[in-house]
């Protein structure tokens, strides 16, 4: 490719560090560390630093860990505009500032993006910078005289958000699979299973892979853990090398407690010449690729991420070189499999004489948050200049082998080379995913696994399994189940287990008998109490003949529901549907203010564990085949989840004070408990869309007109109105009522009216032979009230 004035070149690289145990510890903020690295990069260019800083029109910042997720926290404060904080410190005033998405791929991705922008003329000179002061934050937070790193910085900022889509699902979080060590451990053990390696042999191999990394880190002045270690030391559990998530011990996982920064300056060829950057400082990006893997449980093979290998191969193709032409490699190394699965795909030996890291790797050099690979680029540039004409590869990984960005660098001049990453991504995405099941019940086999170790010695097993139909599911061990934990500590690949689903997620044990002993299913029934009405903390239950009245008893919280309250309601409705002497139920809220305000956001905001019963909010919104009528007696507000509960009931009686709304958008949520589906079907798409997108409230009269409510009664009489409606239902045959609801359920998805009307239902056949059908006809002929038998 021909070099022209717009050809991008890397002209300066810099690194910085501030170890807390060093004699010259400076207590630098992330912005200070980034600025130190940026100054080093300006000086590294060989040009006038002030002139080069003034020429920078774009500063792109790598996102710090403290702002990488919605739950992240900056204990010492942070800059509101990190790229401009760094720019101001070095005398730059960029036209554009960018804050990249979360992920270790982001440094290389930014460099590729900005090189393309230089090539098309939209950028003349750019700075890519990233840094972390995690070690200082942990060291000084809460101490007397701790620094305040808060900066309010005006100016434009292109904040691209977290970019966490597909990286953390509700299912994973529910099963304790939010942290990176456990997720990578699942992939690592899947690889061990694929290779047929036993536990000790595999541990030794991980140690042998990373032992050379420690020796590189030992000579790196910026390394957070500059200590050489043997393979045996890395592989052997000890007091200092405690287990984290099997098969990982502490020495094998990314070390994010660091104070480090790195920066790269790039310009066009014409700008480099204008600024007087010596040509021996120029390094070109010859090849590049950016590919993404599908979410973890959607991958056909959990032991490998094909996107990573494809990205390396394509970057080599773009560069026009082969693997053997590379002089240096730095493969992202947060965990052993991040390196080994790339080696597997490329045919690279773990002991390749070129080495697989230039820095020492994330467990030893340090995982500088999302910015590790910018250090790798800096080292690659230095080596490329030292050996002109050589080629170096940087592989940058984000997520759980999820995003892979590759750069191939050399001093050999080349023009800008476009890639075909989008085309290759389409090919990767076309591969079918395995079928999954959310609720797993019955015999299964272990596909992959890990055991997460707490500091207090507690252990939790996490299993990816396959049920009897081959469907993939996620599960945890039952608390206190040492037998299953012992299985997972050995050779569990393919081992039979037994799965059972609950509202809190799936659980696995070694056998059904053990599951029945440790996590039995609750037999439907009401809790006993002195008055026979039930003994619950969050609800009141009253039985009156064939009628059950259920009251959400949290008036101080506007009857909003916590997970324990949802569990109680689920238990109550399980008992109702199982009891043949109960024919109709009424659900209402205590007090006069609210039927239910939905999810209790105070519980959520406090960071307490969240779960919902398998049958949904209030044990109703996801309950299948409800064949006994449930009436909602709405007194006051039915907001958010409260409105969803009302819609899940068969009938709604509202008093004049009632207000209905799906208000989730007002608090950054969505009506995921059926509201997005039920409301359009009940009130029509036009009104439903307005209510869902704006949180619009309907009063009782409007709700009646829209078909959301069956009856409106005077204020304070919702329960009385519901009782009247229940009495009308109870006047009919409970068998007929139940059969009617069952046939309505069976035909709900049939669009054609005639086809639905002709639907053959076994329930109808059973009704015609029932005692109630005979009694009803007989009583009519004898002109007497029927005596229903409910059979």
Q: Is the distance from CB of 380 to CB of 358 less than 8 angstroms?
A: yes
* pLDDT tens, position by position, 684-695: 999 999 999 999
User: Which residues are marked as active site?
Assistant: 644, 664
Output the average pLDDT for the chain. Answer: 94
Q: Is the distance from CB of 10 to CB of 282 less than 8 angstroms?
A: yes
What CATH number is given for 442-518 in this structure? 2.40.50.840
For 78, which DSSP code? -
The answer regarding whether domain 8-170+252-429 maps to CATH 3.40.47.10 reads yes
Query: Given this model, what pLDDT does residue 62 score?
Result: 97
Bridge-based pairing of strands 442-453 and 326-331 is unpaired
Query: Given this model, what pLDDT does residue 534 score?
Result: 53
What residue segments make up the domains of the chain, in order of their start? 8-170+252-429, 442-518, 539-730, 735-781
Task: Tell me what the mean pLDDT of segment 352-358 comes to.
Answer: 97
Q: Is the distance from CB of 362 to CB of 248 less than 8 angstroms?
A: no
Task: Tell me what the mean pLDDT of segment 70-98 comes to.
Answer: 95
Contacts of residue 515, defined as CB under 8 A and 6 or more positions apart, other chains included, come to 478, 498, 500, 507, 509
List the Cα angle 3/8/9 in 5-degree steps.
Answer: 95
Residue 735 has pLDDT above 90, yes or no: no
Residue 106 has pLDDT above 60, yes or no: yes
**Paired tokens of 27:** 């207590």
Residue 296 has pLDDT above 70, yes or no: yes
Tell me the percentage of the chain whose pLDDT exceeds 90. 82
* pLDDT tens, position by position, 533-591: 558 999 999 999 999 999 999 999 999 999 999 999 999 999 999 999 999 999 999 99
H helix or E strand, kind and range, residue 575? helix 563-578
Contacts of residue 89, defined as CB under 8 A and 6 or more positions apart, other chains included, come to 31, 32, 35, 38
Q: Is the distance from CB of 282 to CB of 8 less than 8 angstroms?
A: no
Task: Tell me what the mean pLDDT of segment 705-733 comes to.
Answer: 95
Task: Tell me what the mean pLDDT of segment 646-653 comes to.
Answer: 97
What CA–CA distance (Å, rounded) separates 276 from 71? Answer: 46
Residue 524, number of CB atoms within 10 A of its CB: 14
Tell me the percentage of the chain whose pLDDT exceeds 70. 99
Query: Given this model, what pLDDT does residue 758 score?
Result: 78
pLDDT band of residue 170 (cuts 50, 70, 90) is confident
Nearest CA-CA partner of 258 in 111, 71, 66: 66
What CA–CA distance (Å, rounded) separates 318 from 287? Answer: 5
What CA–CA distance (Å, rounded) separates 635 from 626? Answer: 23
How far CA 694 is from CA of 600, 642, 659, 660, 697, in Å, comes to: 20, 17, 15, 13, 9
Residue 231 has pLDDT above 50, yes or no: yes
pLDDT band of residue 273 (cuts 50, 70, 90) is very high
**Paired tokens of 12:** 């300066």
Query: Given this model, what pLDDT does residue 414 score?
Result: 97
Task: Tell me what the mean pLDDT of segment 382-387 comes to.
Answer: 98
> What are the E-state strand segments in 30-89?
58-61
Task: Tell me what the mean pLDDT of segment 9-22 comes to.
Answer: 96
Query: Given this model, what pLDDT does residue 352 score?
Result: 97
Q: Look at residue 284 and give its three-state secondary structure.
A: strand
pLDDT band of residue 767 (cuts 50, 70, 90) is low
Q: Look at residue 536 and give its three-state secondary structure.
A: coil
CATH class as words, domain 539-730 = alpha beta
* pLDDT tens, position by position, 422-480: 999 999 999 999 999 999 999 999 999 999 998 888 899 999 999 999 999 999 999 99
pLDDT band of residue 530 (cuts 50, 70, 90) is very low
Nearest CA-CA partner of 180 in 400, 368, 408: 400
Query: Given this model, what pLDDT does residue 532 score?
Result: 46
The rounded radius of gyration (Å) of the Cα atoms in the chain is 32
Residue 763 has pLDDT above 80, yes or no: no
What CA–CA distance (Å, rounded) separates 244 from 247? Answer: 8
Q: Is the pTM of this model over 0.85?
A: yes
161's torsion region: left (phi>0), alpha (psi -120 to 50) or beta?
Answer: left
């Amino acid at each position: 490719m021909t070099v022209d004035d717009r050809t991008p070149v890397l002209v300066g690289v810099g690194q910085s560090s501030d170890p807390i145990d060093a004699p010259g510890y400076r207590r630098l903020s992330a912005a200070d560390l980034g600025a130190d690295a940026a100054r080093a990069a300006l000086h590294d260019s060989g040009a006038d630093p002030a002139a080069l800083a003034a020429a920078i029109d774009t500063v792109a910042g790598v996102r710090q860990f403290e702002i990488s997720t919605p739950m992240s926290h900056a204990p010492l404060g942070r800059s509101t505009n990190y790229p401009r904080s760094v720019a101001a410190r070095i005398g730059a005033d960029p036209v554009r500032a960018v804050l990249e998405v979360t992920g270790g791929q982001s440094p290389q991705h930014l460099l590729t993006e900005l090189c393309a922008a230089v090539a098309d003329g939209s950028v003349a000179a750019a700075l890519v910078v990233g840094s972390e002061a995690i070690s200082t934050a942990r060291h000084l937070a809460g101490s007397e005289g701790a620094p305040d790193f808060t900066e309010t910085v005006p100016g434009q900022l292109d904040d691209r958000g977290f970019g966490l889509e597909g990286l953390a699902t509700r299912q994973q979080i529910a099963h304790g699979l939010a942290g990176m060590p456990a997720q990578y451990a699942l992939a690592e053990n899947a690889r061990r299973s694929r290779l047929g390696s036993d536990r000790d042999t595999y541990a030794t191999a991980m140690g042998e892979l990373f032992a050379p990394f420690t020796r590189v880190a030992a000579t790196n002045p910026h390394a957070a853990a500059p200590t050489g270690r043997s393979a045996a030391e890395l592989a052997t559990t000890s007091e200092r090398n405690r287990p984290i998530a099997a098969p990982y011990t502490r020495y094998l996982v990314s070390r994010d407690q660091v104070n480090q920064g790195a920066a790269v300056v790039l310009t066009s060829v014409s700008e480099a010449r204008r600024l007087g950057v010596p040509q021996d400082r120029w390094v070109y990006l010859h090849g590049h690729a950016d590919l993404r893997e599908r979410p973890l449980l959607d991958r056909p093979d959990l032991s490998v991420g094909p996107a990573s290998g494809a990205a390396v191969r394509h970057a080599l193709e773009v560069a026009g070189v082969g693997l053997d032409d590379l002089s240096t490699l730095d493969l992202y190394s947060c965990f052993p499999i991040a390196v080994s699965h790339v080696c597997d795909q490329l045919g690279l030996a773990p002991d390749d004489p070129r080495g697989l890291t230039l820095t020492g790797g994330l467990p030893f050099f340090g995982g500088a948050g999302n910015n590790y690979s910018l250090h790798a680029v800096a080292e690659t540039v230095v080596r490329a200049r030292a050996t002109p004409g050589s080629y170096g590869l940087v592989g940058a990984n984000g997520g759980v082998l999820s995003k892979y960005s590759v750069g191939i660098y050399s001093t050999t001049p080349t023009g800008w080379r476009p890639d075909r990453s989008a085309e290759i991504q389409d090919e990767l995405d076309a591969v079918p995913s395995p079928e999954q099941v959310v609720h797993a019940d019955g015999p299964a086999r272990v596909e992959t696994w890990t055991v997460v170790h707490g500091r207090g010695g507690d252990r939790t097993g996490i299993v990816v399994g396959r049920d009897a139909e081959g469907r993939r599911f996620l599960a945890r061990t039952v608390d206190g189940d040492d037998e299953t934990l012992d299985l997972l500590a050995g050779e569990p690949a393919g081992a039979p287990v037994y799965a059972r689903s609950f509202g809190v997620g799936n659980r696995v044990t070694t056998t059904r008998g053990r599951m029945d002993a440790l996590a039995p299913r609750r037999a439907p029934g009401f809790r006993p109490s002195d008055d026979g009405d039930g003994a619950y903390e969050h609800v009141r239950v009253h039985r009156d003949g064939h009628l059950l009245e259920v009251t959400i008893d949290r008036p101080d919280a506007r009857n909003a529901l916590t997970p324990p309250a949802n569990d109680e309601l689920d238990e109550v409705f399980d008992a109702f549907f199982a009891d043949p002497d109960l024919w109709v139920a009424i659900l209402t809220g205590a007090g006069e203010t609210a039927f239910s305000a939905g999810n209790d956001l105070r519980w959520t905001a406090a960071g307490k564990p969240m779960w919902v019963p398998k049958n949904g909010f209030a044990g109703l919104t996801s309950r299948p085949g409800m064949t006994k009528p449930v009436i909602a007696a709405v007194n006051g507000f039915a907001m958010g989840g409260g409105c969803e509960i009302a819609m899940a009931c068969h009938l709604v009686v509202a008093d004049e004070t009632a207000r209905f709304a799906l208000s989730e958008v007002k608090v950054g949520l969505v009506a995921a408990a059926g509201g997005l589906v039920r409301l359009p079907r009940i009130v029509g798409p036009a009104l439903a869309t307005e209510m869902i997108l704006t949180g619009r409230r309907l009063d009782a009269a409007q709700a009646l007109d829209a078909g959301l409510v069956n009856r409106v009664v005077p204020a304070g009489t919702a329960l009385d109105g519901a009782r009247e409606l229940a009495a009308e239902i109870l006047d009919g045959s409970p068998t007929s009522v139940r059969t009617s609801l069952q046939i309505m359920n069976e035909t709900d998805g049939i669009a054609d009216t005639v086809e639905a009307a002709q639907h053959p239902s076994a329930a109808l056949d059973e009704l015609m032979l029932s005692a109630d059908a005979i009694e009803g006809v007989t009583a009519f002929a004898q002109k007497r009230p029927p005596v229903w038998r409910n059979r």
